[in-house]
Amino acid sequence: MTLVAAIQMASGTHPPANLHEAARLLGEAAKAGAQLAVLPENFALMGMREEDKLAIREQPGAGMIQDFLSEQSRRLGLWIVGGTVPLDCGDEQRVTASCLVYDDQGRCLTRYDKIHLFDVRLPDHDEYYVESESTRPGDSVVVMDTPFGRLGLAVCYDLRFPELFRSLLDEDVELIVLPAAFTAVTGRAHWEALLRARAIENQVYLIAAAQGGYHVNGRETHGDSMIVDPWGNILDRLPRGSGVVLASLDRERQQAVRRSFPAISHRRLGCQLVHDKR
Ligand SMILES: O=C(O)CNC(=O)[C@H](CS)NC(=O)CCC(=O)C(=O)O
């Protein structure tokens, strides 16, 4: 059994203050006995404008945010999934939205760059997002082995693309982390349904860490960070505000679900059949 945490924040415009709050919540998770903690998307900055993140971009491997993640994971003896960090990609106008995984000794082992970017005008609302103006999308599916099982990475809007999760399943993931900053409008309509669907159809644990609250840019994020088990049960959740969501992952229970309800082995369409026809 592994105790894991999803950390919920309502990040503001001042990175040091956001890191201070993240440290407090990571400390809370560690104190509760968590071995792995997931921070939300943009935990270090929810700016006034989308392009504000360009100003705090870091070179891969060095900078205030990455030093923070390394130091916290080492000091707390905690694996940390660093929500997203804006990393320099050699493009003046754009960064990558990089999800970085640190082990309990402060080493950054894995990087996943958000693949699907949120270029959306919300129906019936005066709200639109053009994430691709300031973010360069990733193009690689990323999984890694951890002491807690095979881990897959996805970020926020990625949740709407089941083919990414199938690709993760094809790599035999057992748990998937999803740092997010879902809008209040779309979150109310879709967040829980999408999370539970992705967990159920892939029979994985899903650890979703969200931004949840009001932000200086006038936006509201949905919150409701949750940990979902491979049967679709919500093990713990936090509707609003800052805090820590905790649950135990039970690999034997997961194996039992996959054995007794073998939907994964009943797949007929997708990779294999497509490849056979080529
Ligand atoms: O709003 C902000 O400032 C921060 N938000 C983010 O960083 C990202 C990119 S704009 N938000 C999403 O991907 C929302 C997805 C979503 O809400 C959905 O799929 O419905």
Q: What is the pLDDT of residue 93?
A: 97
**Cβ of 42 below 6 Å from ligand 1:** yes
160 CA distance to ligand 1 middle (Å): 12
**92 assigned to active site:** no
113 CA distance to ligand 1 middle (Å): 15
The model's pLDDT over 240-255, given as tens digits with 9 standing for 90+, comes to 999 999 999 999 999 9
Alpha helix ranges (H) inside the chain = 15-31, 52-55, 64-76, 162-170, 184-186, 192-202, 251-260, 271-277
Closest CA to ligand 1's atom 20? 186
**Cβ of 43 below 6 Å from ligand 1:** no
Q: What is the pLDDT of residue 277?
A: 47
**31 assigned to active site:** no
Alpha-carbon gap, residue 120 to 206, rounded angstroms: 25
70 CA distance to ligand 1 middle (Å): 26
CB 155 within 8 A of CB 84: yes
Alpha-carbon gap, residue 43 to 53, rounded angstroms: 11
**89 assigned to active site:** no
Nearest to residue 60, comparing CAs of 117, 116, 111?
Answer: 111
**Cβ of 112 below 6 Å from ligand 1:** no
Closest CA to ligand 1's atom 11? 181
Run means of pLDDT, 10 residues per run, the chain, 278 residues: 97 97 98 98 94 96 97 98 98 98 98 97 84 97 98 98 98 98 97 98 98 91 98 98 97 96 92 50
Q: What is the pLDDT of residue 228?
A: 98
Q: What is the pLDDT of residue 176?
A: 98
CA distances (Å), origin 220, targets 10, 80, 120, 127, 192: 9, 25, 16, 11, 17
CB 81 within 8 A of CB 43: no
Q: Domain 2-277 belongs to what topology?
A: Nitrilase/N-carbamoyl-D-aminoacid amidohydrolase (3.60.110)
**Cβ of 41 below 6 Å from ligand 1:** yes
Q: What is the pLDDT of residue 57?
A: 98
CB 176 within 8 A of CB 151: yes
206 CA distance to ligand 1 middle (Å): 19
Q: Active-site residue among 53, 58, 99, 114?
A: 114
**Cβ of 160 below 6 Å from ligand 1:** yes
276 CA distance to ligand 1 middle (Å): 38
**Cβ of 49 below 6 Å from ligand 1:** no
Alpha-carbon gap, residue 245 to 262, rounded angstroms: 29
Q: Active-site residue among 41, 58, 131, 174?
A: 41
Best probe residue, ligand 1, of 54, 85, 118, 217 (max atoms within 8 Å of C-beta):
118
pTM: 0.96
Q: What is the pLDDT of residue 271?
A: 58
> What are the domain boundaries of the chain?
2-277
**Cβ of 183 below 6 Å from ligand 1:** yes
